[in-house]
Structure 1
């Protein structure tokens, strides 16, 4: 963990890995909801990962967490996992394409940066706002290359992903304001536990709690646990801790282009010339945001020190 934490201080490869892993969630949503309901997939996903992490961190390793920290982590889990994923998966199940969902999700940087300036002390510079704006245009162009009339999808279904986007933004700001000090894996365990409770209640209440029987459903669940929860979601909080709201939010702009690439390799979906232009714009927008940090010599805020755990884990993280 120490070596990984040091690598987080500036290696662009980690940012690229985050984009790939974060975008994998949209592909996993498509895989799962093709054979089962969104609630069923999410319920069994979080039951599995929560059981594993809670057992590992709090039983086998014997870690402890204060009640206030548990409350903060549970709240973060409800916003950044439960509401966010329920909205995104629900929209995909209703017929909204993963590309359009990722486009709406990509509005999160503008929302997060604007609110961070109002509520926190992380005001974005003019160059960063230009970068965010260029990135937004790029994402719009990417998706517009594949947009088509879909009369089978209700118009209100396109509003659902906006709820998830706002929920993730709220969780991001709560983390930056509260600055919890729990280790990453402990935080993930509590957040996943809260989400497991949420989706189990929803599943039981809607009659969608039955264990999936299709092999593709379990493939999607395994995919989402390994790549999205333990991979992309964990990296989101680590990067947020070290680099702030604007930086991590700007990376989400690359989610839509990355989703198109995933779709090309997994499903053979063609990438149009228009989409290629949009991808270039996305890269340019992210480059503007990151170059402003380099020009000003912005460095990551140091992690709050704490006594090392028995397993030697030293890297801290303020949330997940």
Structure 2
């Protein structure tokens, strides 16, 4: 009975991870009316560091073994937390919908495929090239429709693209420079500390005060708990169980899932050519992910 229950949990865990990850864009939509983006993220990092610190003090996992390992983790923290999240939250703050920004940063596998092709480190198949074309074609349809409606403009589009570049660069950097096998808790603590060192000074330049309303408190609690602690811990368990490949194959569902949540919660209707664009983006990323 226990083995059957564990097998069901193993099957549900990758889906739960993708659903939790998708809510990150929704939380940004909830929190942004009540706090400037970098201030909110700095508070999120502080809460997450306190939680991870207590967890580390209780479990006593191993820290990164060398100074170089720690520095590499700090670089990935700046890119994948400060840069990526800062760009996403700032774009939402400036009016971009949660579904739209999710679609843009969801092109990460496609951008990675282009880098692999350009660098010549791996062969890019015809199926992967087809996925790249479909993905960028779908993004063009989505963004063109939003430009016509006034939701997307040069500034928030640049911030969303910055977020895409940061998460892609951070992923590639970690793949090449961070040794595998480290503990996710201590690695996350180092990454979040680096992100806080970058975000906090910039947050001091934001004049808007924080409004401690229930929506703000709820968004902060979900960000620090479910997204940082929950998603990271779930990913750690998935890797321990050998299910990381399932997560990789499901990641392309994040943008469509976010679009659905944004429609249900905020009434963000894709409309026009956006729906075919979403299908093209999901299909393109799926081709690249499955081929890899």
Length-normalised TM-score, structure 2: 0.79
1:60 maps onto 2:58 in alignment: yes
Judge conservation of contact 1:44–1:211 (CA < 8 Å) in 2.
Answer: no
Q: Deviations over 1:262-288 (max 9, x none)?
A: 112222444547554444434433443
For the residue of structure 2 that corresponds to 1:71, the secondary structure is helix
Pick closer, same or farther for the CA change 1:268–1:101 going to 2, 3 Å.
Answer: closer
In the alignment, structure 2 segments of 5+ residues that lack a partner are none
Which aligned pairs between 1:211-222 and structure 2 lie closer than 5 A? 212-222=211-221
1:133 maps onto 2:145 in alignment: no
Range with greater deviation from structure 2 (20-29 or 134-143): 134-143
Judge conservation of contact 1:38–1:90 (CA < 8 Å) in 2.
Answer: yes
Judge conservation of contact 1:139–1:257 (CA < 8 Å) in 2.
Answer: no
Q: Tell me which residue corresponds to 1:20.
A: 19
Q: Tell me which residue corresponds to 1:101.
A: 101
Pick closer, same or farther for the CA change 1:158–1:286 going to 2, 3 Å.
Answer: closer
Which aligned pairs between 1:260-275 and structure 2 lie closer than 5 A? 260-270=259-269, 272=271, 274-275=273-274
Which aligned pairs between 1:40-119 and structure 2 lie closer than 5 A? 40-57=39-56, 59-65=57-63, 66=65, 67-119=67-119
CA-CA distance at 1:116 after TM superposition: 3.0
Alpha-carbon distance between aligned partners in 1 of 2:137 and 2:244, rounded to the nearest angstrom: 27
- Cα RMSD (Å) of the superposition? 3.5
Judge conservation of contact 1:50–1:196 (CA < 8 Å) in 2.
Answer: no
Q: Tell me which residue corresponds to 2:192.
A: 192
Judge conservation of contact 1:53–1:189 (CA < 8 Å) in 2.
Answer: yes
Q: Tell me which residue corresponds to 1:34.
A: 33
Number of aligned residue pairs: give it: 279
Q: Tell me which residue corresponds to 2:155.
A: 156
In the alignment, structure 1 segments of 5+ residues that lack a partner are 294-320
Of Structure 1 and Structure 2, the greater helix share is in 2
Pick closer, same or farther for the CA change 1:33–1:23 going to 2, 3 Å.
Answer: same
CA-CA distance at 1:234 after TM superposition: 6.4
Judge conservation of contact 1:54–1:190 (CA < 8 Å) in 2.
Answer: no
For the residue of structure 1 that corresponds to 2:34, the secondary structure is coil
Q: Deviations over 1:141-170 (max 9, x none)?
A: 45656654328x753332121112111111
Alpha-carbon distance between aligned partners in 2 of 1:234 and 1:120, rounded to the nearest angstrom: 34
Range with greater deviation from structure 2 (78-87 or 106-115): 106-115
Alpha-carbon distance between aligned partners in 2 of 1:140 and 1:23, rounded to the nearest angstrom: 22
Q: Deviations over 1:238-274 (max 9, x none)?
A: 78x955xxx94x8554333222111122224445475
Pick closer, same or farther for the CA change 1:100–1:282 going to 2, 3 Å.
Answer: closer
Q: Deviations over 1:9-66 (max 9, x none)?
A: x96x655444433321111111111111112211111100011102321x22223323
